[in-house]
Amino acid sequence: MAETGWIRHWEDGKEYFSECVCRKKQIAESRLRFANIPETFKHMRLKNFSVTAYKDEKKAKL
């Protein structure tokens, strides 16, 4: 069967479909491409974002 991104399963005589991991990965990758994040920022994460620069009012101004 061709890869569709969906997993078919039956429960109580009814057919159901759920997303497979590959589909979730495809969606995440598509969203990242659509976000058009510059290469210089792609490695950054919120977990290592420092707000210390914004505590000093002089540093916080652009």
Query: 7: number of CA atoms within 13 Å, CB side?
Result: 9
How far apart, in whole angstroms, are the C-alpha atoms of residue 16 and residue 35?
A: 32
pTM of the model: 0.51
Cβ within 8 Å of residue 23, ≥6 positions away: 5, 6
The model's pLDDT over 1-45, given as tens digits with 9 standing for 90+, comes to 457 888 999 999 999 999 888 888 989 999 999 999 999 888 888
Give the CB-side neighbour count of residue 31, counting CA atoms within 13 A: 6
Q: What pLDDT does residue 15 have? A: 96
